[in-house]
Amino acid sequence: MRNNRLQTKPKRSWLTKKKIILAVVLCVLSGTIIVLEKTDTTHLFHSGNRGYVTQKNSPGRSASSDTKGETGSNTNNGASSTTTDNQESPEQNKDKDSDATTPTNAELKDPTGTFVSNHHPNLGGSPAPNEIQSVCVTTSGAYCEIIFTKDSVTKSLPKQLTDRGGAAYWTWKLQDIGLTKGSWQVQAKATLGSQTKTADDAATLEVNE
């Protein structure tokens, strides 16, 4: 009887060691997952850090890690040119950027950028296309809009909240905002809290039929 009891002890000891090892492994894995989730490396239990979001990126945009700009640049009032995809409403951008950290008392920069990519479009899409790209670059976290004026008529693209690089993008057609044949003055308007700054495009937008 004594021999049988002595033989069972190693088994119990081995089981205890296995439980301890398993507990340690589980603790390490849990700690690792928590760290990865906190640092937004994985998104198993949350949707991740949304940050500043504007339009979808497209091939060729590589101005910086924060701004979805194009590699090439044209100057428009001394600014670099970039393009965009799929505009979104200010409300959608506001939801996406609810965790923005740019204070409203930060200094608002004068808006720059390629306000319109083509200054001689055609309403019918030929010979020049009627689709245009617009870019506004200002302080990160500010709102920006592009305004078009002809005589007493004013049209505008919807406000966009700028991304971490301070850029907002639109891809749009003339008919989307009701631009008609004629010469339109182009202006970019940036707002941040009570601050407002504008910049005029050096060239008018000449809309043809």
Q: Which residue has the higher pLDDT, 50 or 168?
A: 168
Asked if 133 contacts 157 with a C-beta cutoff of 8 angstroms, the reply is: no
Predicted confidence (pLDDT) per residue in 25-65, tens digit:
888 787 777 766 665 556 555 544 433 333 443 333 333 44
pLDDT for res 45: 58
Weakest-pLDDT range from 73-77, 141-145, 174-178, 186-190: 73-77
Mean pLDDT value of segment 73-82:
38
Give the position of tokens 């907002």: 168
Q: What is the mean pLDDT of the chain?
A: 74
Give the position of tokens 């081995």: 14
Mean pLDDT value of segment 79-88:
40
pLDDT for res 79: 38
Predicted confidence (pLDDT) per residue in 89-130, tens digit:
444 444 444 344 566 778 999 999 999 999 999 999 888 888
pLDDT for res 32: 76
- The pTM assigned to this predicted structure is 0.54
